[in-house]
Amino acid sequence: MSAAADEPLVQARGLVKHFPITRGIVFQRKVGAVRAVDGVSLEVRRGETLGIVGETGCGKSTTARLIMRLLDVTAGEIRFDGRDITHLKGAPLKAVRREMQMVFQDPHSSLNPRKTIGSIIGQPFAIHGLLREQGARKREVQRLMETVGLNPEHYNRYPHEFSGGQRQRIGVARALALEPKLLIADEPVSALDVSIQAQVLNLLRDLQRRLGLTLVFIAHDLSVVRHMCDRVAVMYLGKIVEIGPNEPLYEFPRHPYTGALLAAVPVADPSLHGSARRLLGGDVPSPANPPRACRFHTRCPKAQQLCAEREPELEDKGSGTLVACHFPLSREEVAQTGVRSAR
């Protein structure tokens, strides 16, 4: 079952997820579809951290849920650790799920308030019938608590007795219980106070180095993603518009949307205040009725006739990233856009 070490852990090809929009109560007619994810292909390499960024509704969380098989694909293929898991069901799916775990955004709603921390972190063992002997399970749970920086003596406490940051540690401990090959963190710090965020980010980075985890990190905060990730995928309206290693993507973004996102991030340095930058106008169009061809053409400062007619493919434009754009940004344009991470 185990595959060659140089093969990517996750290979997603042409992932599509359409949620039907229906009318009627008894006889439901399909009147349209929200194209949440519309042809996403990506790889997650062993031991790396892949970041997925984008604004609300771009499909980043749906992509993660498709990879985890928490949602069924409308089309496309997912390979995990060398085998096709796209249509697995029942026991084989459960076996695969052991290998991939998730940390959720809201540490308040993702922990059952009526269970003790010990039983929450031990739940994965119960589900998969492991460590049936009580003492052994407790020892393992306490070891996990220590790993994520919780006091093992707090085994019998309830979630409400912990702060937001500590609760997120509990979520991480639970996700690590089965020693997964893949950890997906969906906005793991956006519900936390500023002073606490760094605690959880450092924990994830440290665990990844120590345990050789493969991590998919989903966030809307571009500074956090830059800090955490080896490679980054930028999504817009259900598609990847640019993907590549961290440095080229942040220092020389080629897609006008990546550039606009990076220019919009406020930087904690008042001396940059008032420096020229180009802001994106308008709002993200509805994914139920996305623009034709290049989906960004309605808001793109560089759009031309071609952009409304032919959809650009993800291609190497010679700067280290793959970009889906007919007219990628030049160095001068990146500077004019006011990208704060550009060199």
Partner 1 sequence: MSRRDLAGAPSTSEPLLRVEELRVEFPTEDGVVHAVDGITYQVLPGRTLGIVGESGSGKTVASLTTLGLTRRQGARISGRILFAGQDLVTLPEDRLRAIRGNDIAMIFQDPLSSLHPLYKVGAQLIEAVRAHRDVPKARARERAIELLALVGIPDPARRVDEYPHEFSGGMRQRAMIAMALANEPKLLIADEPTTALDVTVQAQILALMERLQRELGMAIVIITHDLGVVAEMADDIAVMYAGRIVETASAARLFAAPEHPYTWGLLRSIPRLDGPRAADLVPIPGTPPSLIHRPSGCHFHPRCPYAQPDHARIDPALEPTPDEPSHYVACLLSAQVRRGLWQELAAGRTPARALEAVGQPGAPA
Which range touches partner 1 (CB under 8 A), out of 100-108, 128-136, 153-161, 273-281?
273-281
Q: How far apart are CA 111 and CA 19, in angstroms?
A: 27
Q: Give the C-alpha distances (Å, rounded to integers) separating 35 from 237, 308, 336.
A: 8, 18, 33
Q: Are strands 231-236 and 315-316 parallel, antiparallel or unpaired?
A: unpaired
- CB-wise, 101 or 166, nearer to partner 1? 166
Taking CB under 8 A as the criterion, the residue among 223, 298, 319, 336 binding partner 1 is 223
> Which 23-82 residues touch partner 1, going by CB under 8 A?
55-56
Taking CB under 8 A as the criterion, the residue among 97, 226, 239, 295 binding partner 1 is 226
In 45-187, at which residue ranges do the beta strands (DSSP E only) sit? 49-53, 75-80, 83-84, 100-103, 182-186
Which range touches partner 1 (CB under 8 A), out of 44-52, 169-177, 187-195, 304-312?
187-195
Taking CB under 8 A as the criterion, the residue among 133, 283, 305, 332 binding partner 1 is 283
Q: How far apart are CA 171 and CA 106, in angstroms?
A: 10
> Which 156-185 residues touch partner 1, going by CB under 8 A?
163-166
**Assigned token pair, 195:** 């002073």
Nearest to 257 by CA among 316, 309, 323: 323
Residue 206 beta carbon to partner 1: minimum distance, rounded to whole angstroms: 9
Residue 281 found at the interface with partner 1 (CB under 8 A): yes
> Which 241-260 residues touch partner 1, going by CB under 8 A?
246-247, 250, 260
Residue 274 beta carbon to partner 1: minimum distance, rounded to whole angstroms: 9
Taking CB under 8 A as the criterion, the residue among 173, 224, 232, 323 binding partner 1 is 224
Is the Cα torsion angle 153, 159, 165, 169 positive or negative in sign?
positive
Name the phi and psi angles at 323, rounded to 5.
-135, 140
- CB-wise, 107 or 122, nearer to partner 1? 107
Residue 201 beta carbon to partner 1: minimum distance, rounded to whole angstroms: 6
CB atoms within 10 A of CB 242: 28
Q: How far apart are CA 324 and CA 172, in angstroms?
A: 34
| Binding stretches for partner 1 (CB under 8 A) | 55-56, 163-166, 193-199, 201-202, 220-224, 226-227, 246-247, 250, 260-273, 279-281, 283-284, 340-341
